Amino acid sequence: MGKLDVEGVLAKNSWFASLPAELSESILHAGRIRHFESALIYAADDTADGLFALLSGQIRLMRTSATGQLSFLAIASPGAWFGLSGALDGRPHAYDAIAIGQTAVFHLSQEKLTQVIGGDIDHYAAFVRLLCHHYRVAVEYVAALRTHPPIQVLAHELIRMAGRHGQPIEDGVRIDLRLSQEDWAAMVGVGRQTINRLLKKLEEKALRRSTMRPSRSIGWMRSRASSQTRAFTVI
C-alpha cells in the first residue's frame, strides 16, 4: 500500500480530511504501516505508544472488567483512529485493540507524534479535537444504553453498521463482519439468550441477521430506534 493509498483511506475520516495540508503531510510522512492477522495490537493497561488508524481489515475495541465481564466498545472501519487518549495523557491504554483476520494499520508512534506536534499549539489542538469527538461518541453510547430498551440499541447498531460496513447486494445490504452472538450481546449490554430473542424479533419484522432490505427493514428499525439518539460506537 503506497502513500497515496494510505492517504485515500485516512481521508475517509472527516477529522483527517479537515487537517491543514502541512499537518496531514507530516502525519503521513512520520507514520508507518503495520500488519496483523487475528492478533492483539495492544492490551488494556499496556503503555501507550502513539496512535493508530485502521487501513484495511477489522478491529474490535474491547474491555474486560475485573469480574470477567466483556464490554464491546466499538468496531473500527477503515480510516478510524484509535489509541489516542493514552498518546495524549501518557497513561496506559484503557481497552484492548484486536485485529480480526488480515488487518493493516497506520501507526504514528509516541516519538513521531511528539515530533509532528513539535510544540505547535495548533497541531496539539487538532489532536485534542479528535479526542473530543471520541468523548462525545462515548457519551452518546452510554446515554443510549441507559435510556433506550435493548431492541432500540440493537436497531441503532445495525443501521450504523449497514451504513459504514454494508455491501449492497441484490435484495439489500450485507453486513460483512465477523461478529458472534457473544459480540452482539456485549455490544447491546444483554445476555446471549436475550440477544437471540431480539434478533428473532427483528427477523419477524422482515430483517435477516446479516442482510437488510433497505426499503422496509431499515425504515422499520429507524422508526423503532426513534430520532432521539444518533448512531453510536462510531470512532
Q: Let me know if the fold of 3-140 is the same as that of 148-225.
A: no
Which distant-in-sequence residues (6+ apart) come within 8 Å of 29 by Cβ?
A: none
Given the candidates 3.30.950.10, 3.40.50.150, 1.25.40.10, 1.10.10.10, the CATH classification of the domain at 148-225 is 1.10.10.10
Q: What DSSP string describes 127-183? A: HHHHHHHHHHHHHHHHHHHHHS-HHHHHHHHHHHHHHHHEEEETTEEEE-----HHH
Domain borders along the chain are 3-140, 148-225
Query: How many other C-beta atoms can be found within 10 angstroms of the C-beta atom of residue 13?
Result: 20
What is the H or E stretch that residue 19 is in? none
Round to whole Å and give the CA distance between 126 and 16.
9
Query: Which CATH superfamily hosts domain 3-140?
Result: Jelly Rolls (2.60.120.10)
pTM, two decimal places = 0.68
pLDDT surpasses 80 at 68: no
Render pLDDT for 88-118 as a digit per residue (tens, 0 to 9): 998 999 889 999 889 999 999 999 999 999 9
Angle 164-160-145 from CA coordinates, rounded to 5°: 145
Task: Please give the pLDDT value at position 30.
Answer: 95
